[in-house]
């Protein structure tokens, strides 16, 4: 799956390094963090314009903090071998 990178930010928190991506796919915007993915599952091209995800993913509802307050968002996460049910 290839997504267009809108923006990205590398981070280092308590010695854990990663990258947060904001990506577009077929007119939708998704957040992708490198933390839950295995090494090699996320590959950005040299220009950081395309993110290639080399595993199956799930879209998970989440939130992010903006200057206006808490906003809903959709995060792409690696697919689990479990089926989770919401109550």
In angstroms, the CA 1 to CA 43 distance is 11
Report the pLDDT value the prediction gives residue 58, as an integer from 0 to 100: 93
In angstroms, the CA 51 to CA 23 distance is 8
In angstroms, the CA 60 to CA 47 distance is 27
User: What confidence tens digit (pLDDT) does each residue in 21-74 have?
Assistant: 999 999 999 999 999 999 999 999 999 999 999 999 999 999 988 899 999 999
Report the pLDDT value the prediction gives residue 29, as an integer from 0 to 100: 94
The pTM assigned to this predicted structure is 0.85
In angstroms, the CA 65 to CA 50 distance is 25
In angstroms, the CA 76 to CA 19 distance is 13
């Amino acid at each position: 799956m290839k997504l267009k990178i809108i923006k990205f930010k590398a981070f280092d928190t308590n010695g854990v390094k990663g990258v947060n991506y904001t990506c577009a796919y077929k007119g939708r915007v998704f957040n992708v963090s490198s933390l839950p993915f295995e090494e090699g599952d996320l590959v950005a091209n040299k220009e950081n314009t395309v993110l290639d995800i080399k595993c199956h993913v799930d879209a998970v509802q989440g939130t992010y903090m903006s200057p206006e307050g808490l906003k809903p968002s959709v995060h792409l996460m690696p697919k689990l071998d479990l089926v989770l049910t919401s109550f």
